[in-house]
Each structure stands twice: as C-alpha cells, then as structure tokens.
Structure 1
Amino acid sequence: MGTDKPLIGFIGTGVMGKSMAQNLMDSGYSIAVFTRTKDKAQELLDKGAVWKESVAELANSADIIITIVGYPTDVESVYFNEGGIIENARQGTYVIDMTTSKPKLAVEIFEKAKARGISALDAPVSGGDIGAKSGKLAIMVGGEQQAFHEVKPIFNVLGENIILQGDAGAGQHTKLANQITIATNMIGVCEAIAYARKTGLNPSRVLDSITTGAAGSFSLSKLAPRMLEGDFAPGFYVKHFIKDMTIALESAEEMGLSTPGLSLSLELYQELAEKGEEDSGTQALIKLFD
C-alpha cells in the first residue's frame, strides 16, 4: 500500500464493530460502512462515515475491508454470496474477518480470495466492549506474513496485543482457545461470588482481595463487578458466546479432544438463554447461581 491512508470498508457495527470503526475514524482513516440495519451505523454516519447501499458497493470501493458480523453463516453470506466480497473486491484489496468463526471457513476465504488476487486474514479479537472502546483489544491473526505487515497499522489502532499466530485459520483456532479459557473461568467467578455471599462476606471486598492474586482474570476484574451491580448490558452477548463455544466444541471433537469444562459451560449458558437471557451480557450467568 502507498503512503496515503487507505479507505477502509467496515461491515458490522454492533457492540464491538461500532467502537472499532470509531477508533479508526479518530485516527484519521476514511470509513465506508454497510450493515443490514442502517440505524446501527447512524452514529458513525453522523460523524463522517460514508454509507454504502450493499456489500458489493462497499467491496468495490474499499482498499481494506473489515468484517465483524454475528455467525459463520453471516460470514459465508458476506464473503461468498452473489454480490459478496470475494466476487466484488478489487485485486490487491486486503480483507480481514474479525468475527469469531470456524477455522475451516477462514481457510476457505483465504483460498478463494487468493485466487482472485485478494489478501485475506482471519483476525478475531478479545476484550469485549471495554477493549473495543479503548483500542486495547487482543488481536489473533492467521494468514500470510506480508499481508499482516501491510495492515499492521490498522491493527495498532484497534488493539495492543497483536500476534500473527500462523497460516489461515490460526487466528480462529487461537480465539477458540481463548473462549475455552473464559468458559470455565466464568463458572468459577459465579461460584466464588455465590460462595462469598453464602458465608456472609461482602463480595465486593472479596473481589478487592482476589482480583490481584493468582485468581486474577478479565472476567473477575471487569465482569464480576457488573454482576454485583446487577448490570447485565452486553459487552459480549450470551448468544454469541454460545456460538463461540459450540464452534470450539465441534472443533475439539473433530480432533478427538475432550473438553469437559467447555461442555459444562455451554450447557449452563444454553440454560441461561432458554430463560430469556440470550441478549444479555455473559456476566448474566450469575443469575443461575443467585
């Protein structure tokens, strides 16, 4: 890419995507956006982003295309459908899927993109709404070294811990390892709060003691206080966490790997969703323990 800042096309302006796009605009990048519900992009449009009427129109105009949508089926639609990115992006474009999706799908995008002279990276993120707003996301990348080098300035705006993990699909595998870690950790956080309450301790004071010790984690320091405050607004949706855990479980089973902690967490979150909490934040798991 040249010295001028590239035009970035952004598809998906939800809890994470909106803040990520805003950070890019604040850093001087021109942004074009498309999302299925235009209202979700209105705040960005009011601040200078350009609306595109379709995926095809966006893909044909952007130098770099970032997608962060909901489910693997959404990724497939955005990339492979008639009027999708692969069919309409110009040769030399860089496409970056930051959705948490299937590793096999990341490889398929890479191969079909490469055949058309397009460079593809899978780059899922971790850090929730807090990390997206602050530009401190962890970004796990799969793809070719040269493409990673070219778009690194973009990643530097969005995150701090940015690592090329390997070939196409490696970013998704790394993110699934991340979600497996969080899955059982969230159970532990909820059980710890329930235990503290049962003993008559002040849970907030307990957190003051244990968040800086060996038990420390993002879930404990950032989400546990939300649990205590009864703040269940989504930094990351229950329904999307269920999607991630399902993908991780399927991937583990394909490799013959047993993940009992992941299986238990998935069961609990599915129970939570059945109780009407699928659009709540993942910290709503505490409701099963109250």
Structure 2
Amino acid sequence: MTSENTQGLPTVGLIGLGNLGNPMAVSALSHGYPMVVHSLNKAEAENLIALGATWANSAAEVGSKSDVVITVLPAPHHVRDIMIGSGGVLEQMKPGSTFIDMSTSSVEVANEIKELADPKGVAVMEAPVSFLAKAPIGASRNSAQLQIFVGGTTEHFEQHLPLFRALGGMPEQIYHAGPNGAGYGIKVLLNLLWFMYAAGTSEVLAIGSKLGLDLRVLQQALCASPSQSNFLQYDINSVFEAGNYDDGFTIDLVCKDIQLGIALGEKTGIDTKLAHIVEQLHQQALATYGPKSGEMSVVKLYEEAAGRLFRDQ
C-alpha cells in the first residue's frame, strides 16, 4: 500500500459515526492514525474533522482513499449495501487493503463480501465489539473502552492488533476468536445472553417490588450470590438512579440482535425456546414504547406489571 504516512500507520476509513463509531474514531486519531470518515449525517463528523480527520462525500470515496476500511453500521443489510451494493466501497478498494466490519452482523453477509473481495486481493475480517461494563451504563461508551472479538486469519489479526488497540480495545480484551465468522458468533451470543439477563432480572425485580422488598437490598443480596451478573450489578443502576433505559442502543436493534441469535440456533439445530420468549418480551416493549426507546425498555414492561417504578427512594 502506498498511502501509509511517515509513521508507518495505515490510513483508516470509518463508515458509520454513531454512538460507537465516533468515539472509536476519536481514539484512533489520538493515536496518530490518519482517518477518512463518512456517515449519513456530516454533523456527526464535525468533532472528528476538528481533530484532523478527512471527510469523504461518499462511502465509495472512503474505499478509494483508505488502507483499512471499517464499517460500524446498524444491521447486516446496511453492511452489504455499503460494501457491495449501492455504496460501492469494495469496488473502490485497492489490492492489499483490508475490510473490517465492526458491526453486529451475520456470517452470510460477510461471506458474500469475502467471495467478491478475495479475487481483488482485499482481506476481509470482522471485529464486533462490546463495551466493558465495569461502571454504570454509559461510562464505558464515553471512554470507548472495548472488548473486540476478531474473526479472520492469525496473520491479519496480528497485523491489525495495534489498530484494534488504538480504536479503544483493551489489550487483555482483544480476542482472536478464530476464522472468519467466529467473531460474529461470540458477539451475537454475548448480546443474546445479556437480553436474557435483562428480562430475567426485570421479572425478579417486579416480584420483589410486589413483595414490598427494598430493591437495593435485593440487588445487593443477589450480587453477592451465585446469581450475580454485570446487568444486575451495573446496568440496572441507571434505571434505579435516573429512570434511564439507555437509548444509546435502541430496542429495534435489540430485536434485530435477538433474531441473529435465534438464527444461529436454527443453523446449529438448537431449539431456542428461551430466546423466543425473550424475543417476544422485547418485541412487546418495541410495540409499546416505540422502536427508538432504550435497550432496557423491557424493564418498563415489568415496572408496569408491578405498578411502580424501580427507583431509589
């Protein structure tokens, strides 16, 4: 590649500058990576342009100007359209460049892209992320401290490990999950289990509320027991403290991710009875509160069932 700067760092193109993509770009810029960025809304890039990023007027322009193209998009069909559909990014990418999808997407879409990328000499990887949950929900988003689950060859993993660290990946939390598809698998299953925790915890809190229990005492007792979870210890705090159901990740995306998990169950022949129940609850929350309500809107359903809000007194 010829577009590396004098420090030897590749030019990174990032498409999708929302709650995840923007802080990742800020982190990479702070580590000296030259960046080309694009999103549907240019206003999302203003802080990045001020930090030295180059704005691209189209996704395809990102492909032509970058050594590494990263997508951070809501759903698999968005990734497909940007890369090999109307976005035309892959067509503009140079031999020897790399495409890394950091969305929560599907192996099927990635394989379709890889089939077209291989003859062009463009490497394909996935590296979906999860925010570290060692603070009340929202704090890790602001610092972009990430777990990253990388699918691809060992060679490509080692080549891009410095970039993953620069994007905000914690050194001990960047996993080479295995070959292409393994990173998606871990991320989809991680999300599925978290949504199960959200529903299960909400149900327990509703019962505790109807029993007249102090929910903070209940939380403390459960967190000190084998039933402890990060959701119970950290994520639910924003509901207790401020009625914040976290609209940084919306319920329509929750339902999309649950469906990706159910699809993995179908692919592997596992009967996902529990996942289907959890999906029904989150679909009910979506229908009740709207697609852009927060990812913990299922908690609201159980607050209504209990007849009281789960709040600190």
Q: TM-score range by the shorter chain?
A: over 0.9
Q: How does 1:199-218 map onto structure 2 within 5 Å?
A: 199-218=211-230
Task: Look up the SS of the partner of 1:162 in the other structure.
Answer: strand
The residue that corresponds to 1:139 in the other structure is 148
Contact 2:64 2:93 in 1 (8 A): yes
Cα deviation for residue 277 of structure 1 reads 3.4
Contact 2:289 2:297 in 1 (8 A): no
Within the alignment, does 1:88 sit opposite 2:125 as a pair?
Answer: no
**TM-score (norm. length: structure 2):** 0.86
Within the alignment, does 1:233 sit opposite 2:237 as a pair?
Answer: no
Cα deviation for residue 130 of structure 1 reads 4.1
The residue that corresponds to 1:267 in the other structure is 280
CA distance in 1 between partners of 2:201 and 2:41 (Å): 35
Task: Look up the SS of the partner of 1:15 in the other structure.
Answer: coil
CA distance in 2 between partners of 1:102 and 1:212 (Å): 36
Task: Look up the SS of the partner of 1:65 in the other structure.
Answer: strand
The residue that corresponds to 1:171 in the other structure is 183
Question: What letter is aligned with 2:212?
Answer: G
Cα deviation for residue 171 of structure 1 reads 1.0
2:16 pairs with 8, 12, 16, which one?
Answer: 12
CA distance in 2 between partners of 1:188 and 1:250 (Å): 21
CA distance in 1 between partners of 2:233 and 2:248 (Å): 14
CA gap 1:265/1:83 in 2 versus in 1, 3 angstroms: closer
Within the alignment, does 1:98 sit opposite 2:102 as a pair?
Answer: yes
2:159 pairs with 137, 142, 150, which one?
Answer: 150
CA distance in 1 between partners of 2:217 and 2:22 (Å): 34
Deviations 1:156-183 (A, max 9, x none): 2322211112211111111121122112
Deviations 1:90-110 (A, max 9, x none): 111111101111112122222
| Equivalences, count | 290
Question: What letter is aligned with 1:171?
Answer: G
Question: What letter is aligned with 1:94?
Answer: T
Task: Look up the SS of the partner of 1:236 in the other structure.
Answer: coil
The structure richer in helix per residue is 1
Question: What letter is aligned with 2:273?
Answer: P
Task: Look up the SS of the partner of 2:159 in the other structure.
Answer: helix
The residue that corresponds to 2:210 in the other structure is 198
Cα deviation for residue 212 of structure 1 reads 4.6
Q: Which one has a bigger Cα radius of gyration? A: 2
Cα deviation for residue 219 of structure 1 reads 1.6
Deviations 1:175-212 (A, max 9, x none): 12112211211112212222332222222233233335
Within the alignment, does 1:43 sit opposite 2:47 as a pair?
Answer: yes
CA distance in 2 between partners of 1:271 and 1:25 (Å): 41
Cα deviation for residue 251 of structure 1 reads 2.5
CA distance in 1 between partners of 2:154 and 2:114 (Å): 13
Deviations 1:134-158 (A, max 9, x none): 3431211111111111110111232
**TM-score (norm. length: structure 1):** 0.93
CA distance in 1 between partners of 2:78 and 2:15 (Å): 11
Q: How does 1:215-226 map onto structure 2 within 5 Å?
A: 215-226=227-238
CA distance in 2 between partners of 1:259 and 1:183 (Å): 14
Cα deviation for residue 71 of structure 1 reads 1.1
CA gap 1:112/1:260 in 2 versus in 1, 3 angstroms: same
Task: Look up the SS of the partner of 1:205 in the other structure.
Answer: helix
The residue that corresponds to 2:62 in the other structure is 58
Contact 1:20 1:133 in 2 (8 A): no
Structure 1 unaligned residues grouped into runs of 5+ = none
Task: Look up the SS of the partner of 1:70 in the other structure.
Answer: coil
Contact 2:20 2:144 in 1 (8 A): no
What is the root-mean-square deviation in Å for CA atoms of aligned residues? 1.9
The residue that corresponds to 1:287 in the other structure is 300
